[in-house]
Amino acid sequence: MLRRIELHDIHYSYVQGSAEQSIFSGLSYSFANIGSTAILGRSGCGKSTLLNLLSGIDRPRRGRIFIDGDEISAFNETQLAIYRRRNVGIVFQSFNLVPTLTVGDNLRLPLELNDVAKKQREHRVDEVLARVGMRDLRERYPEELSGGEQQRVAVARSVVHKPKLVLADEPTGSLDAQSGMRAIELIRDTAAEIGHALLIVTHSRAVASYADTVLTLDDSGQLAGYREGIAW
Ligand SMILES: Nc1ncnc2c1ncn2[C@@H]1O[C@H](COP(=O)(O)OP(=O)(O)OP(=O)(O)O)[C@@H](O)[C@H]1O
Ligand SMILES: [Mg+2]
At residue 147 the predicted structure's pLDDT band, cuts being 50, 70 and 90, is: confident
- Helix, strand or coil, per DSSP, at residue 231: coil
Between CA 130 and CA 136 the distance in angstroms is 9
Least confident of 4-8, 65-69, 89-93, 141-145: 89-93
Between CA 232 and CA 42 the distance in angstroms is 7
Domain count, the chain: 1
Between CA 162 and CA 191 the distance in angstroms is 9
How many angstroms separate the first and last alpha carbons of the chain?
34
Any domain includes 5 = no
Between CA 232 and CA 215 the distance in angstroms is 14
Ligand 2 (ion): which residues have CB within 5 A?
A: 47-48, 93
* pLDDT tens sequence across 150-188: 988 998 999 999 899 999 998 887 778 887 887 788 777
Alpha-carbon dihedral sign for residues 75, 18, 10, 55: negative
Any domain includes 26 = no
Q: Is the pLDDT of residue 230 over 70?
A: no
Any domain includes 65 = no
More confident residue, 184 or 122: 122
- Average pLDDT value for the chain: 90
* Residue-number span of the structural domain to which 208 is assigned: 34-59+76-225
Between CA 205 and CA 225 the distance in angstroms is 14
Question: What's 151's domain CATH number?
Answer: 3.40.50.300
Between CA 182 and CA 133 the distance in angstroms is 9
* pLDDT tens sequence across 107-121: 999 999 999 999 999
Closest residue to atom 4 of ligand 1, CA basis: 14
* pLDDT tens sequence across 48-92: 999 999 999 999 999 999 999 999 999 999 999 999 999 999 998
Contact between residue 210 and residue 166 where contact means Cβ atoms under 8 Å apart: no
Any domain includes 69 = no
Q: How far is the CA of 176 from the centre of ligand 1 (A)?
A: 24
Q: Which of 45, 218, 222 to mutate to test the pocket of ligand 1 (most atoms within 8 A of CB)?
A: 45
Any domain includes 88 = yes
Closest residue to atom 13 of ligand 1, CA basis: 44
Q: Which of 13, 22, 23, 43 to mutate to test the pocket of ligand 1 (most atoms within 8 A of CB)?
A: 23
Nearest ligand by distance to the CA of 50: 1
Q: Which atom of ligand 1 is nearest to the CA of 16?
A: 4
Any domain includes 124 = yes
Ligand 1 — pocket residues by CB below 6 A? 14, 16, 21, 23, 41, 43-49, 93, 203
Q: How many Å separate Cα 118 from the centre of its chain? A: 26
Any domain includes 231 = no
